[in-house]
Amino acid sequence: MAAATPTLEESAAYITRSGKPTAAEVLARARTSGRPALQPRCGVGGHREMAALLLELEREGAPDLLTLTIDSHTRLRRFESAERALRTDHRTLNGYPLVTHGWQRGRELNELVAVPLEIRHGSPDPRELFATAVASGVTSFEGGGISYNLPYSKDVPLADSLAAWAEVDRTCGELARLGVVMDRELFGTLTAVLVPPSISLAVSVLEAVAAAAAGVRCVSVSYPQGGHLAQDVAALRSIPLLAARYLPPGVEVHAVLHEFMGVFPRDRGHAEELIFYGALTARLGGASKLITKTYQEAFGIPDAAANAAGLRLASVAGSPLLDFVTVDEAAVGEEQEWILRETAEIVEPVLSAPRLDSAVVTAFAAGRLDIPFSASRHARSEVIPRRDPSGAVRYHSPGRLPLSRASAERNRRLLGGPADDASGASLFAALRRDIDHFPLLFGETPEGAPAGPSPATPGKEPAP
């Protein structure tokens, strides 16, 4: 019979007694130092295998935080299916089934490594998972009622996911009163494909406002690297400004960059150039944390050695020898001005409503909130993004988002013409080129790219 889950008070006492730094403490130190904390993705099904993976990554990659990426069965609360997979062949799982393994094994993993752990998962209803994570001593938990629903689930009503995540956030508030500050990372990465900065940040602002109202005291806002330096730096630097504008005092807010999550170059040298570019972007943008990538991204789930190599390469970007590297501050300033303006135009009508949760549901139903390429029938996905000639992500069509005329016209102008210039097959081809931006930049093509072996050992799980 499984041991009863400890009470919240018992779990808080365990975390405090361990003497291990919390994720919030690591992030605060990273922000002060100007060097982003580094964290890989990783998650496999077997307990011994997960322990070995964490140890190898800590030994070979020297991360500041480590990840337990959760399997799909657990994400969807199919705990019996996860248990059956563990009994038959844990290699069929695409992550670590923490609820099935239980909090005692979770504590074993937590005590095995010196750095704090974060749970990354993609669940629209993570209540059991969160309870097990807290009992395990985990001090960072990713997701939100919008960002862990619409990019992943086909038909989970937003009202349901928002209510489930509100319970998680209220529990974080109780933990804070018990002296344990849980880092709540918001998945602004969303679908990770051509996400306009103002959509990413708007969703995170709404989730952050709800989390802070529930008592959350540490919020990490993650942003997906789009690939245009000035735009990405501007988006990262916008995060503390948005926090100051919309969140109450006393909430710690950290910017997090996810290294490019789109189509990766297949050639190792090209992939490593992109990884290093992402790490420099995080540094220039003032990010507190960087979620790293590997040179094996184009082939599937990378192995542990590639994962550690990605961490070491990203770490080089934090060298004081690179203090001479700068960015065009005028270009960043212009991008930031418009990102802040567009984000305000999207969120402020929703924030002005009497109840935030119902306003979010209504706005998504009407298309006044939206995300591109969503899997869910609860988002219209009428927004069409494109890259402009410089590679920045713009609105080809904002759908029904309440952008001002000036914002919409600027996007059209930077794209080079009226929004209806490309349609049908030509628009699809243009979007494909935009999605394949980096392989094409390096002279690779989907058909003629240099081939390489697909790694056989799972070392991390792609998304979240």
- Which DSSP category does 373 fall into? T
Among the listed residues 159, 160, 119, the one whose alpha carbon sits nearest the alpha carbon of residue 143: 119
**Identity of the residue numbered 144:** G
In Å, what is the CA distance from 161 to each residue of 112, 146, 166, 199, 237? 33, 7, 8, 19, 29
Say whether 75 is catalytic: yes
* Beta-carbon contacts of residue 455 (< 8 Å; ≥ 6 apart): 296, 299, 300, 301, 302, 303, 306
The catalytic position among 35, 41, 120, 142 is 142
- Which DSSP category does 81 fall into? H
Say whether 9 is catalytic: no
The catalytic position among 35, 75, 217, 412 is 75
Which DSSP string corresponds to 175-230?
HHHTT---EEEE-TTTT-SS--HHHHHHHHHHHHHHHHHHT--EEEEEEE--S-HH
Among the listed residues 124, 123, 149, 171, the one whose alpha carbon sits nearest the alpha carbon of residue 8: 171
- Which DSSP category does 322 fall into? G
How would you classify residue 417: left for phi > 0, otherwise alpha for psi between -120 and 50, otherwise beta?
left
Task: Report the C-alpha gap between 186 and 462 in whole angstroms.
Answer: 17
How would you classify residue 115: left for phi > 0, otherwise alpha for psi between -120 and 50, otherwise beta?
beta
Which DSSP string corresponds to 118-140?
EEE---S--HHHHHHHHHHT--E
Task: Report the C-alpha gap between 148 and 168 in whole angstroms.
Answer: 13
Cis amide bond preceding 464, omega within 30: yes
In Å, what is the CA distance from 317 to each residue of 66, 184, 223, 266, 304? 19, 26, 19, 22, 21
* Phi, psi of 371, deg, nearest 5: -135, 145
What sign does the dihedral 336-338-341-343 (CA atoms) show?
negative
Catalytically active residues, by annotation: 75, 142
